[in-house]
Chains A and B, each alone.
Chain A
Amino acid sequence: LAKTTQPISMDSYEGQEVNITCSHNNIATNDYITWYQQFPSQGPRFIIQGYKTKVTNEVASLFIPADRKSSTLSLPRVSLSDTAVYYCLVGDPYTGGFKTIFGAGTRLFVKA
Chain B
Amino acid sequence: GAVVSQHPSRVICKSGTSVKIECRSLDFQATTMFWYRQFPKQSLMLMATSNEGSKATYEQGVEKDKFLINHASLTLSTLTVTSAHPEDSSFYICSARNPGGKSEHEQFFGPGTRLTVL
Interface residues of B (CB under 8 A from A): 1, 4, 6, 31-32, 34, 36, 43-46, 49, 91, 93, 95, 97, 103-112, 114
Contact = CB atoms under 8 A, between A and B. Distances in A.
A15 B26 CA distance: 36
A43 B46 contact: no
Chain B's interface: helix, strand, loop or mixed, by majority? strand
A105 B42 CA distance: 9
A96 B44 CA distance: 18
A81 interface: no
- Interface size on A, as a range, is 20 to 34
Contact of A105 (B32, B43, B91, B109): B43
9 contacts: A34-B105, A43-B109, A43-B111, A97-B31, A98-B105, A98-B107, A102-B36, A102-B44, A105-B43
A102 B45 contact: yes
Smallest CB-CB A-B distances: 3 pairs? A43-B109, A97-B32, A93-B105
